[in-house]
């Protein structure tokens, strides 16, 4: 969407023949596709930076290989920043880029939707 539009205007566009392969929702969903991408982005929304081990503790079911692959993918997409510290002992920290931080309102809207429509068990 190049211009500001309302949800109603967007729905009209979606229902018209204008929305095809260049749909921003489709592109966004493809970028966030993957079992762990949104989980890692969400975890990084909660703190300024995070080490590999902290992410692993937050999601113990993810394998080290999958976590590494997902972090590399998100870095190549410009969603996260990787900073390596050559200290003793060496360590690496991950943080959200401005592009990644711009996803916070999406998580906020998901939280509001969840509060409204998902019943607590």
What confidence tens digit (pLDDT) does each residue in 75-106 have?
999 999 999 998 888 889 999 999 999 999 99
State phi, psi for 12 to the nearest 5 degrees: -60, -45
Q: How confident is the model at residue 23 (pLDDT cuts 50, 70, 90)?
A: confident
Residues 67, 60 contacting (CB under 8 angstroms):
no
| Closest listed residue to residue 51, CA positions, set 88, 79, 90 | 90
Environment class of residue 36 by beta-carbon count within 10 Å: exposed (0-12), middle (13-18) or buried (19+)? buried
Whether residue 27 has pLDDT greater than 80: yes
**pLDDT of 28:** 86
Query: At which residue do the structure tokens 């190049």 appear?
Result: 2
- Band of the pLDDT at 68, cuts 50, 70, 90? very high
For the domain made up of 23-117, the CATH class stated in words is mainly alpha
Q: Calculate the average pLDDT of the chain.
A: 88
Judge whether residue 4 has pLDDT over 90: no
pLDDT at res. 43:
94
């Amino acid at each position: 969407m190049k211009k500001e539009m309302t949800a109603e205007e967007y729905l009209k566009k979606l229902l018209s023949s204008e929305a095809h392969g260049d749909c921003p929702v489709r592109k966004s969903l493809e970028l966030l596709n993957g079992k762990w991408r949104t989980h890692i982005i969400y975890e990084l929304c909660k703190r300024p930076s995070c080490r590999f081990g902290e992410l692993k503790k937050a999601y113990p079911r993810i394998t080290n290989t999958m976590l590494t692959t997902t972090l590399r993918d998100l870095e190549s997409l410009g969603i996260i920043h990787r900073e390596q510290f050559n200290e003793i002992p060496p360590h690496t920290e991950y943080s959200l880029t401005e592009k990644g931080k711009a996803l916070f309102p999406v998580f906020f809207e998901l939280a509001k939707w969840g509060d409204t429509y998902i019943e607590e068990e």
